Amino acid sequence: MREIGIETEYITLGQLLKMTDTISSGGMAKWFLGEHEVFVNGEAENRRGRKLRPDDLVNIPGFGDFRIVTAEGMSFDAD
């Protein structure tokens, strides 16, 4: 599961799709959600404006599983 750190109260599902490179542009979000299953906290979701907050779990079959976390809650590897 990949952690997605946010610095705001929430991000939208459309923003998450773009941040994870699931889609290449924000304009593709509506099309993607119409053609692919996406699950938020175990429930099917097709609204690109769905607000995702810390601790939400998003499953995009074929693309991965993502957990929304606050940016300060992320763990970083020291290089």
How many domains would you assign to the chain?
Answer: 1
Cα 52–chain centre separation: 7
The reported pTM is: 0.85
Q: What is the pLDDT of residues 8-60, one digit of tens each?
A: 999 999 999 999 999 999 899 999 999 999 999 999 999 999 999 999 999 99
Instruction: State the residue range of the domain holding 24.
Output: 2-72
d(CA 6, CA 42): 21
Burial class (CB in 10 A: 0-12, 13-18, 19+), 30: middle
77 found inside a domain: no
pLDDT at 77: 45
**pLDDT band at 79, cuts 50/70/90?**
very low
pLDDT at 76: 47
69-79: average pLDDT: 62
Encoded tokens for 36: 């692919």
Look up the CATH number of the domain holding residue 27. Answer: 3.10.290.10
79 found inside a domain: no
